[in-house]
Structures are given as C-alpha cells and as structure tokens.
C-alpha cells in the first residue's frame, strides 16, 4: 500500500493566559491509502488539534504534513483550497444548516463550487440513497434524530468525492446503537469507494469496531502506534493501558495487594475453559474479576482479569501454565 498522509515531526503550541500549551510535540506517523486509521486519546491529549493540522485548519509551528505526495504548507492559499476539496470532515455536532432542508444541505457546497442546481440535486439524491436517507430529502435538520443528522453530514461530505474523510469525534453525541450503525456505514463507504478514513475519538470501542491501525496520543505526544489488535492484546505504554483497561481500573484499585492478571484470548483459545482448567490443575480457585468479548477487525477477541491465589509459588506456576497454552498474559500493577 502507498501512503496518503505523512506527518513528520509536527509541533504545535498555543499561547494562553496561563502560558504556552503544547498540543502536538514531535509527532510523526504515516497513513496508508484506503486505511481506516484511529487517533485516540483522553480529553486534552491533542487529538482535535492534530486532525485540524491534517488539512491545515491549524497550521503547525514546525514539521510537515504531506497529503497524497504534496506538502500542504508549500501550497498557495488557492492551491490549499483546492486540496481541501479532497479532504472531507465530519464533526461531532453535524454542522448542518438549520434553515435548509436535507437535500439543500448537500447541494449547498456543490453549488458554491459552481455546479448547476439540477446536477447538484441529482448528485445529492445519489448520496442520500447511499446513506439511507433518500426519504428524508425534504425534511429539516430539526426533524431528524442525531444519527440521521450524521448520515446527512456524511452524504454531504461524499458529494464532494473526497479521497480522505476526517471524523472528529463523529459518534460522541450518539447512543451506542446509533454509533454502531454509523461506524458500519463508514466501514462500508471505505470498502465501496476506497476512501481513506481517519477517526478521532476517546472511545476504544470505536477504534476496535472500525479501525485497522491506531495512534495513541498522550499530552500532545505520540505514545504508541500499531495495529488495533497489537495494541489491544499488549499495550506497551501507560496511556494505551488507561484507554484499553480503563473500564476495569476500578477493579484494580479495589484489589490493592492482590495478584491480578489480564488474559487476552484469540478466536481459537476463547473456546477453552481456561479458568476451570487452571483451577483443576492446581487444586485452588481463581476469582474472575472481569470478562468481556470484543469484535476487533471482524474477529472475536476476549479478555479477562483474574485474581490469583496469595501463594506466590502457586500464582507463578499458574501464570506459566497460561503462557504455555499460548495465551497472552500480563500482570496488572495495583500499587
């Protein structure tokens, strides 16, 4: 695959009343053409600043942003405007024009670009069908649900036939079921049109459902990057662990002084009765503190947090037993 976005040593600092705030510090990564790439981090990690640097809505202090082989900072204002037509953006709050109906919302940017009104309406209807909103063509945004508004926003972006779509917390205002349907739509668009999609989010579940690769941001720095599966199975940095094991952090805090481990199961090992087997093998029980199954890249991947016996020798032998069975085992720090 060939790269479509290359970020090299990007830096961005904002001046505030309290002093300078570094939103991006020496960030470098590459996104391949046709990929669905996640950028994840907690609030204040620098996600939104970074995504706005990808189309130069925010201009970096230093470093380069290459899009499809062109250095965005080297373009003239006119050339940059043309380049941005290839980079669509979907926002958390939809950004629809409330005084225009659905089809006019989609036609608006097309007419501004010089397309005839009849042609713009024809094209708008084509994309409304793609997002399943053709029956709402004459409805106004106030008459739509959050998920329907986001579908209209997606259709509006698609009408400009972009190479890249940037999704800045595009599902954060939606309920879980609607989020799932919007992510499925984006995945289908990626498959049907080959559009590269960059997903900015603070939710690991979003990344796990739709992305193939992910970059983890922490306080403006790139903490970790890799495939979603690699980072889910064995996060290397504290930032990644907070995002992946964050839902279970309360368990770890409550069990201070106890021996806790996290096990990750792939599609094959998830069918083995691991807890029963290890308890029978050593004649002592283990406590299941947490268990869940997640869909990562279309495959079921399970995780479990176990409390091991206080006997150090038995606990060590249990961990060896699990590792010998090709399970990914990590001891959790609860100090």
d(CA 294, CA 184): 15
pLDDT the model gives residue 251: 52
**Model pLDDT for residues 262-294, shown as the tens digit of each residue:** 888 775 555 567 788 888 888 888 888 888 877
- Residue 24 near residue 54, CB atoms below 8 Å: no
- Residue 189 near residue 154, CB atoms below 8 Å: yes
d(CA 293, CA 308): 21
CATH superfamily of domain region 3-237: P-loop containing nucleotide triphosphate hydrolases (3.40.50.300)
pLDDT the model gives residue 162: 93
pLDDT the model gives residue 269: 53
Quickly state the pLDDT bin for 43 (edges 50, 70, 90): confident
**Model pLDDT for residues 135-152, shown as the tens digit of each residue:** 999 999 999 999 999 999
Average pLDDT, the chain: 88
First-to-final CA distance of the chain: 44
Q: Whole-model pTM?
A: 0.84
pLDDT the model gives residue 271: 52
Between 72-86, 133-147, 187-201, 298-312, the lowest mean confidence (pLDDT) is in: 298-312
- 212 to 1, 139, 208, 297: CA distances (angstroms): 13, 36, 8, 7
Domains 3-237 and 245-332 share a fold: no
pLDDT the model gives residue 256: 54
Q: What element of type H or E holds 274?
A: helix 274-282
pLDDT the model gives residue 254: 56
**Level-2 CATH architecture, domain 245-332:** 2-Layer Sandwich (3.30)
Q: How many other CB atoms are found less than 10 A from the CB of residue 227?
A: 14
Burial of 125 (0-12, 13-18, 19+ CB in 10 A): middle
- 144 alpha-carbon distance from chain centroid: 25
What average pLDDT does the segment 227-240 reach? Answer: 88
Which tokens is 134 given?
């053709």
Asked whether the predicted pLDDT for residue 255 surpasses 70, the reply is no
Domain limits, the chain: 3-237, 245-332
């Amino acid at each position: 695959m060939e790269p479509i976005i290359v970020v090299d040593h990007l830096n961005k600092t904002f001046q505030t009343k309290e002093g300078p705030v570094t939103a991006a510090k020496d960030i470098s990564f590459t996104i391949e053409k046709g990929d669905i790439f996640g950028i994840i981090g907690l609030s204040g990690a620098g996600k939104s600043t970074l995504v706005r640097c990808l189309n130069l809505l925010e201009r970096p202090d230093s470093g380069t942003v290459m899009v499809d082989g062109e250095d965005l900072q080297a373009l003239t204002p006119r050339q940059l405007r043309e380049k941005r037509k290839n980079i669509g953006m979907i926002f958390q709050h939809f950004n629809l024009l409330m005084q225009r109906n659905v089809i006019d919302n989609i036609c608006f940017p097309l007419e501004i670009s010089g397309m005839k009104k009849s042609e713009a309406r024809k094209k708008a209807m084509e994309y409304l069908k793609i997002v399943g909103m053709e029956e709402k063509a004459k409805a106004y945004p106030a008459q739509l649900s959050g998920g329907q508004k986001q579908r209209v926003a997606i259709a509006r972006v698609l009408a400009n036939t972009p190479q890249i779509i940037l999704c800045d917390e595009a599902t954060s205002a939606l309920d879980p079921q609607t989020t799932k349907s919007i992510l499925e739509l984006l995945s289908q668009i990626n498959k049907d049109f080959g559009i590269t999609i960059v997903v900015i989010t603070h939710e690991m579940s979003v990344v796990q459902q739709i992305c193939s690769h992910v970059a983890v941001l922490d306080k403006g720095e790139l903490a970790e990057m890799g495939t979603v599966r690699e980072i889910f199975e064995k996060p290397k940095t504290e930032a990644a662990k907070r995002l992946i094991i964050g839902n279970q952090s309360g368990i770890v805090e409550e069990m201070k002084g106890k021996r806790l481990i996290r096990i990750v199961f792939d599609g094959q090992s998830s069918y083995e009765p691991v807890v029963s087997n290890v308890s029978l093998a050593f004649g002592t029980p283990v406590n299941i503190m947490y268990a869940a199954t997640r869909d990562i890249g279309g495959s079921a991947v399970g995780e479990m947090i176990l409390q091991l016996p206080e006997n150090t020798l038995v606990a060590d032998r249990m961990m060896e037993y699990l590792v010998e069975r090709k399970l990914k085992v990590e001891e959790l720090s609860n100090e």
